Structure 1
Amino acid sequence: MVNLLLDAGDNLDVVDREAIICLLDSYVIVHSVVKNFDLLASRQFCDEFFSIIIQRDTKNIAEVVKIPRTSLGSIASTLWAALANARYEARESTAEVVKRATDQFMDLIGHESPSSDPIEMSRTMAYLLDVGLISYAGSHASRNDFQDFEVEIPSFCYNKDGSFRFQCSMRTLACLNGFLDAREVWVFEVQSGETSPQQQLGQGGAKEPLSILTTIDALSDIWGPVYAEALHQDSSAEKPYRVRKYNVSKGCIRPLSRQSATSDGYVKCHWYSWSEEQRRRFSTLFSGRSKEPTMSLDDKLLIGTEMTVKSDCTFSLTEYEMNYGNAIYGAGPKPSTWKFDGVAVSLELAAPKFVMLQIKGKAKRVPETTVKEHAWQKWSTNPESANPGILNNYYGVEISNCTGNARRVSLKQIFLMNPIQELLERQIPEWQATSWGMDFKKALQTESEAAVFSFWRQHVAHRALVGRLVSCVLDVLDCTGCNRSGFQAAFLHQDNESIVNIDPRVNDWADLLKDSYLTATYAIVNEVCLEYKLPDHSASICNDERRYSVLQTKIGMEKETELTGRLKVDPHGLPLKRIGPEVAGLPCLLTRESMVGTMVHLATRTYRAKELLNQQSQDRKRHHRVILRASRESFGGMPYPRQRDLTKVDEGPMDIDMQSEAINQEVSEEALSQLEIEAMIMESLMARDVAEDDQKARC
Structure 2
Amino acid sequence: MSGIIMGSIDSDETLLGLCASYAILASVEDCLNLMEQRQFCTNFFSLLVERDSHEGIAEIVNMPKSAVIELVEALLGPAIDKLLSLMSCLPPEPDELEEDSHIWTQRLARSVALLLDLGVDSYFGSHGSRFDVKYFKREMDFIRYFPKNVLGFECSMRPLACLDCFLDKKSVWVFQIGVDLAPWSLLSSEKREKLSILTTIDTFAHIRGPVWAELVEQDSSENPIKRIKKYHFSKGCIRPMAKSFVTSEVKGHWFSWPEEYRLRFSRYFTPQFEREPEVFLRLDDKLLIGAELLVN
- Normalised by the length of structure 1, the TM-score is 0.37
The Cα of 1:99 is off from its aligned counterpart by 2.2
SS in 2 for 1:256: strand
1:440-455 paired onto structure 2 within 5 Å: none
**Whose relative contact order is higher, 1 or 2, with alpha carbons under 8 Å and at least 6 apart?**
2
SS in 2 for 1:51: strand
Aligned CA RMSD, in angstroms, stands at 2.3
Which residue matches 1:135? 122
Identity in percent = 41
State which of 280, 289, 292 in structure 2 corresponds to 1:303: 289
State which of 39, 44, 48 in structure 1 corresponds to 2:43: 48
**1:495-549 CA-partner distances (Å, limit 9, x unpaired):** xxxxxxxxxxxxxxxxxxxxxxxxxxxxxxxxxxxxxx23xx63xxxxxxxxxxx
SS in 1 for 2:247: coil
SS in 2 for 1:241: coil
Which residue matches 1:639? none
CA distance in 1: counterparts of 2:183 and 2:255, whole angstroms: 35
> Are 1:231 and 2:216 an aligned pair?
yes
State which of 66, 69, 73 in structure 1 corresponds to 2:65: 69
Instruction: Return the letter of the residue paired with 2:279.
Output: P
The Cα of 1:118 is off from its aligned counterpart by 3.1
State which of 144, 168, 174 in structure 1 corresponds to 2:155: 168
> Are 1:154 and 2:141 an aligned pair?
yes
Q: Give the structure with higher Rg (CA).
A: 1
**1:446-494 CA-partner distances (Å, limit 9, x unpaired):** xxxxxxxxxxxxxxxxxxxxxxxxxxxxxxxxxxxxxxxxxxxxxxxxx
State which of 240, 250, 254 in structure 2 corresponds to 1:255: 240
Does the Cα contact within 8 Å between 2:92 and 2:149 map onto a contact in 1?
no
Does the Cα contact within 8 Å between 2:241 and 2:291 map onto a contact in 1?
no
SS in 2 for 1:228: strand
The Cα of 1:77 is off from its aligned counterpart by 1.9
1:292-441 paired onto structure 2 within 5 Å: 292-306=278-292
Which residue matches 1:603? none
Instruction: Return the letter of the residue paired with 1:68.
Output: P
CA distance in 1: counterparts of 2:195 and 2:147, whole angstroms: 23
SS in 2 for 1:30: helix
> Are 1:104 and 2:89 an aligned pair?
no
**1:617-676 CA-partner distances (Å, limit 9, x unpaired):** xxxxxxxxxxxxxxxxxxxxxxxxxxxxxxxxxxxxxxxxxxxxxxxxxxxxxxxxxxxx
The Cα of 1:265 is off from its aligned counterpart by 2.7
1:530-679 paired onto structure 2 within 5 Å: 533-534=293-294, 538=296
> Are 1:60 and 2:56 an aligned pair?
yes
CA distance in 1: counterparts of 2:221 and 2:48, whole angstroms: 37
The Cα of 1:200 is off from its aligned counterpart by 4.5
Which residue matches 1:188? 175
- Normalised by the length of structure 2, the TM-score is 0.84
The Cα of 1:113 is off from its aligned counterpart by 2.1
State which of 10, 26, 29 in structure 1 corresponds to 2:24: 29
> Are 1:243 and 2:221 an aligned pair?
no
Does the Cα contact within 8 Å between 1:166 and 1:201 map onto a contact in 2?
no
1:456-471 paired onto structure 2 within 5 Å: none
What count of residue pairs does the alignment treat as equivalent? 271
CA distance in 2: counterparts of 1:50 and 1:115, whole angstroms: 28
CA distance in 1: counterparts of 2:67 and 2:214, whole angstroms: 32
CA distance in 2: counterparts of 1:244 and 1:61, whole angstroms: 24
Which residue matches 2:100? none
SS in 2 for 1:54: strand
SS in 2 for 1:222: helix
Does the Cα contact within 8 Å between 2:239 and 2:254 map onto a contact in 1?
yes
CA distance in 2: counterparts of 1:125 and 1:201, whole angstroms: 20
After the TM superposition, which parts of structure 1 deviate over 4 Å for at least 4 consecutive aligned residues? 232-237
CA distance in 1: counterparts of 2:150 and 2:65, whole angstroms: 27
Instruction: Return the letter of the residue paired with 1:295.
Output: L
CA distance in 1: counterparts of 2:117 and 2:29, whole angstroms: 10
The Cα of 1:291 is off from its aligned counterpart by 5.5
CA distance in 1: counterparts of 2:245 and 2:148, whole angstroms: 37
CA distance in 2: counterparts of 1:235 and 1:62, whole angstroms: 39
> Are 1:123 and 2:110 an aligned pair?
yes
Unaligned regions of 5+ residues in structure 2, if any? 1-9, 95-103
The Cα of 1:112 is off from its aligned counterpart by 1.9
